[in-house]
Amino acid sequence: MSPAAQVDLKEYCLDVARRAKSAAAVVSQLRGAAKNQWLRESARRLRGDSAKILAANSLDLAAAPGYGLTEAEIDRLKLTPARIDAIAVGLEEVAALPDPVGEVIESTVRPNGLDVLKVRVPLGVVFFIYESRPNVTADAAAICVKSGNAVILRGGKEAAHSSRAIVDLLGIVAAETGLPADAVQLVNTTDRAAVGHFLKLAEFIDVAIPRGGEELIRRVAAEATMPVIKHFTGNCHVYVDRSADLEMALRVTVNSKCQRMGVCNAAESLLVHADVAAEFLPRVAAALAANSPPVELRADEHARQLVPTAREAVETDWYTEYQGPILAVKIVNSLDEAIVHINHYGSHHTDAIVTRDLDAARTFVARVDSAAVMVNASTRFNDGGQFGLGAEIGISTDKFHARGPCGLKELTSYKYVAYGTGQVRE
Amino acid sequence: MSPAAQVDLKEYCLDVARRAKSAAAVVSQLRGAAKNQWLRESARRLRGDSAKILAANSLDLAAAPGYGLTEAEIDRLKLTPARIDAIAVGLEEVAALPDPVGEVIESTVRPNGLDVLKVRVPLGVVFFIYESRPNVTADAAAICVKSGNAVILRGGKEAAHSSRAIVDLLGIVAAETGLPADAVQLVNTTDRAAVGHFLKLAEFIDVAIPRGGEELIRRVAAEATMPVIKHFTGNCHVYVDRSADLEMALRVTVNSKCQRMGVCNAAESLLVHADVAAEFLPRVAAALAANSPPVELRADEHARQLVPTAREAVETDWYTEYQGPILAVKIVNSLDEAIVHINHYGSHHTDAIVTRDLDAARTFVARVDSAAVMVNASTRFNDGGQFGLGAEIGISTDKFHARGPCGLKELTSYKYVAYGTGQVRE
């Protein structure tokens, strides 16, 4: 890039961020009805204008082989009328959620008569950096604006045309329904330097949310001058306690591992109490071998005596997030050993225990330091929709501000409001 | 410092951080009774061992002139039996607060029968960097441990002996009451390089809280690899609406400015609606002139016509946090002008309106983007104790995670806990 083009890019990013900040002041004050009208009308228009969206999508599909996308990736990129309808339904679902802005989270009347309210307010401007699925463009715009924020969307180049068509449509409907045009902006360049420029603009941007590979998230966390909500993948565990219902343990293990393998809340390690290992391990190994695709086991020596077909696990296996048909397997001699293993090797994302023992459940819940701890349920439930938050912009692996699924509330802050009758401090 | 000493310092900081992380795992699991026993017994011992604390304090006082401390600063450093009692009372007050750890913040039963709980948990390890008042050492230790965290205290060199005596006492009582010795650690060097080392240790430290001058906070925010809760000072406003009760406005203005001038929630600017300026300004000017010390006014041209003794305000005055006996004064022609001025020049800390007009109050509350918005009350109420949070570790000027007074809850995160009966995802 020429020096002049570099200056242009920097100016462009500054202009986008400034516009977003101005728009955020307006969006923060919108009534819920205005935001919902925008969402519902956008859903209607998406269905009505699906030909336009599909035409844009076909440009992305044509370019996809040139970007080296796999067939699975191209399939996720591809839009159909049914998938556009699903996007529209997503907008309608966000419209149906209660408006988080203005909610009184806590309140108290002080002895001097001062009424103190803690009131939910938007964060301001969200900078969202994400992978190339077009539905994410619509979802993120909906969640950010519904929670009273403006959003700067930086999608992958692979879905550039589809995302542009969707954002243009949202912008047209915004103009018609009284929302500021800059409430939702799509960055018009896929130049990676643009991300670096935005990450310096803490004056205008209140939070950066990167979603994608670990490398992207680490880069954003390192360069950002504003807070970052990080979404690392998960090294999730299922621990089968000695008191477990083994039928249930089988169901939960297979579901946690196999229901969808490439996602952050899929299980990567299985820990089994020694007392039930001889009975449980051969059964679960058979079930996992019968899955399509079959799941390869990497086991410690004790477990390999029970499942001879398993490969030998090495130290790195306990840390690995396979996101595919591999499961690490270890036999533990106690609940304590399981908890220590999970807290040491895990990624503090989602971990499950299967047990009938109340004390074991309580101990596991209290001591496993993860965003979500499941008792007798699949790890796959750690999800905004499944937990009842509605739509989510991701699953935070941070402890600060937001942990676990990030929905509308996680995109808000609060202010204190105190109503008095002339009170002063003595 | 020699290269060997530099290596030693780095190793020392790493060791402190590792110990804190280990202690945090234990503190997070403590019952409220254990934490409260430690607090109450420490309070008792502080009173009983006050001679030891006073002896340590006298070493700090002897060194104070060498550090160039002013008389006011030396006074704040000085401990007396009464002040040690006040510190002890502070510990007892923290003991009396409800335990935040384990609180179920929200819960829902999903249609599939899954019980989803959002449970409050500690953040982990707090790195607290603060100025030189010895009482802050005890307060911070109490708040951090009560909220289930371990804390690394980095106090100023001016109070090094006093802080060491207090932390040693807390450690002795910790050993007696079953708390880990490393729950509260005081950094044993005032070498500034140590702060830099700690700020790189995100693996062990969950949050950094700098309290002190703006330069310190900016340095910490720039260097930290973990989240930072920032406590900038406040450029706070009082806006006197045209519908204000002018007696109340006088009281609120004088209290906001004069009750304590060097603090972050003291008023620095006064905005007066043009309709009441002729009546109000001369009265408030007289009251402020009669204060001890008298408050100097820096006013715009319109206001100077009403208060000829006022100096002419320049652009920088609207941005300035005097933290002393100066007040910027401006006449505005509308509520809107006041709000725009506050959001532009203010620091989003604490701003007050005095009004009898419900609509004006609601508009001011909704549009002023500050951590605390006061209606008919002094800005000085933006304080953890005044808002009913109990003790506070500071007043956050961030929007992310914590805004306004930071008490026990602001030092926590949460985890999701889901109880099932074998649920799997379809």
Predicted local confidence at residue A5, as pLDDT: 80
Q: Is residue B208 part of a domain?
A: yes
Residues A142 and A246 in one domain: no
- CA B275 to CA B282: how far, in whole Å? 14
User: B406: which 2 tokens?
Assistant: 């930071």
A228 and A257 in a common domain: no
> In this predicted model, which residue has the larger pLDDT, A51 or B1?
A51
Q: Is residue A398 part of a domain?
A: no
Report the residue of chain A nearest B126, measured CA to CA: A400
Same domain, B25 and B166: yes
pLDDT of residue A4: 75
Which pLDDT band, with edges at 50, 70 and 90, does A390 fall under? confident
How far apart are the CA of A351 and the nearest CA of chain B, in angstroms? 10
Number of structural domains in chain B: 2
Question: In the sheet that A236-240 helps form, which strands lie side by side, from edge to edge?
Answer: A311-312, A296-299, A326-332, A267-273, A236-240, A350-354, A372-377, B412-423, B115-122, B104-109
The mean per-residue pLDDT over the stretch A174-198 comes to: 95
The answer to the question of residue B389 being in a domain is no
Q: Are residues B217 and B266 in the same domain?
A: no
A269 neighbors A328 (Cβ within 8 angstroms): yes
Across A342-371, average pLDDT: 97
DSSP B313: P
In the predicted structure, residue A183 carries a pLDDT above the cut 70: yes
Model confidence pLDDT, tens digit, residues B28-75: 999 999 999 999 999 999 999 999 999 999 999 999 999 999 888 899
Which chain B residues are Cβ-neighbours of A207 within 8 angstroms? 400
> Residue B132 half-sphere exposure, CB side, CA atoms within 13 Å?
22
Is some CB atom of chain A closer than 8 A to the CB atom of B243?
A: no
* CATH classification of the domain holding B214: 3.40.605.10
- Smallest CA-to-CA distance from A232 within A319, A292, A314, A111 is with A319
Q: In angstroms, what is the C-alpha Rg of chain B?
A: 24
Q: Could you tell me if A400 lies within 8 Å of chain B, comparing CB atoms?
A: yes
Please name the residue of chain A whose CA is at the shortest distance from the CA of residue B123: A399
CA distance B54 to chain A (A): 30
Same domain, B134 and B261: no
Tell me: the pLDDT tens digits for B170-208? 999 999 999 999 999 999 988 889 999 999 999 999 999
Clarify whether residues B265 and B207 are in a common domain: no
pLDDT at A268 over 80: yes
- CA distance to partner chain A, nearest, from residue B3 (Å): 28
Q: Give the H or E element holding residue B307.
A: none
Nearest of B370, B98, B389 to residue A107 by alpha carbon? B389
Strands of the B236-240 sheet, one edge to the other? A104-109, A115-122, A412-423, B372-377, B350-354, B236-240, B267-273, B326-332, B296-299, B311-312
Are A192 and A336 in the same domain? no
Find chain B residues with C-beta within 8 A of A21's C-beta.
Answer: none
Q: Would you tell me the crossing angle of helices B134-146 and B160-177 to the nearest 10 degrees? A: 30
Contact check, Cβ <8 Å, B422/A371: no
Q: Is residue B390 part of a domain?
A: no
- Identify whether B423 is part of a domain: no
Instruction: Fill in the DSSP letter of residue A183.
Output: G
List all residues 6 or more positions away from A307 whose beta carbon is below 8 Å from its beta carbon.
A281, A282, A285, A297, A299, A329
The Cα A89–Cα A1 span in angstroms is 41
| Residue A36: CA count within 13 A, CB half-sphere | 10
For β-strands A150-154 and A184-186, DSSP reports them as parallel
> Quick one: which of B352, B329, B328, B327 has its CA closest to B339?
B352
What pLDDT, on a 0 to 100 scale, did the predictor assign at position A130? 93
In this predicted structure, what is the pLDDT of residue B282? Answer: 98
pLDDT given at position A1: 61
What is d(CA A376, CA A356) in angstroms, rounded to the nearest whole number?
9
Whether B372 and A252 lie within 8 Å, measured CB to CB: no
pLDDT at A3 over 80: no
Q: Do B377 and A255 touch (CB under 8 A)?
A: no
CA–CA min distance B362, chain A (Å): 10
Q: Which two tokens stand for residue A412?
A: 């808000």
Contact between A386 and B110 using a beta-carbon 8 Å cutoff:
yes
pLDDT higher than threshold 80 for residue B117: yes
Q: Which residues of A touch B414 (CB under 8 A)?
A: 403
Question: How far away is chain B from the Cα of A235, in angstroms, using its nearest Cα?
Answer: 16
pLDDT tier at B161 (50, 70, 90 boundaries)? very high
Do residues B330 and B183 share a domain? no
Q: Do A216 and A165 lie in a common domain?
A: yes
A63 and A11 within one domain: yes
Nearest CB to A415: which of B29, B116, B370?
B370
- Among A361, A371, A416, beta carbon nearest to B415: A371
The predicted complex's ipTM stands at 0.95
In a domain, A19, yes or no: yes
My answer on whether A47 and A163 are in the same domain is yes
Residue A294's CATH number: 3.40.309.10
Q: What confidence score (pLDDT) does residue A232 get? A: 87
Distance CA B167, CA B369 (A): 39
The reply to whether A397 falls in a domain is no
One-letter amino acid identity for B201?
L
pLDDT, mean over chain B: 96
Whole-number average pLDDT of chain A: 96
- Which residues in chain B touch residue A421, judged by CB atoms under 8 angstroms apart? 248, 376-377
Minimum mean pLDDT among A333-342, B326-335, B383-392: which range?
Answer: B383-392
Asked if the structure places residue B425 within a domain, the reply is: no
* Chain B residue numbers touching A381 (CB-CB < 8 A): 114, 418, 420, 423, 425
Residues A309, A195 within the same domain: no
What CA–CA distance (Å, rounded) separates A413 from A120?
Answer: 6
d(C-alpha B39, C-alpha B424), whole Å: 45
Average pLDDT over residues A230-238: 93
Phi, psi of B124 (to 5 degrees): 135, -100
Average pLDDT value for residue range A96-112: 97
Band of pLDDT at residue B1, cut at 50, 70 and 90:
low
pLDDT at B232: 87
Average pLDDT over residues B382-404: 93
Residue A213 clears pLDDT 90, i.e. is over it: no
Residue A271 belongs to what domain range?
236-384
Is B371:B348 a contact under the CB 8 Å cutoff?
Answer: yes
Sign for the pseudo-dihedral over CA of A77, A83, A86, A88: positive
d(CA A382, CA A397): 12
> Which residues from chain B sit within 8 angstroms of residue A398, using beta carbons?
227
What is the Cα–Cα distance from A70 to A67, expressed in whole angstroms? 9
Query: Confidence band (pLDDT; 50, 70, 90) for B404?
Result: very high
Strand order in the sheet with A207-210: A184-186, A150-154, A125-129, A207-210
Residue B51 buriedness (CB in 10 A; 0-12 / 13-18 / 19+): exposed
pLDDT interval class at B233 (50, 70, 90): confident
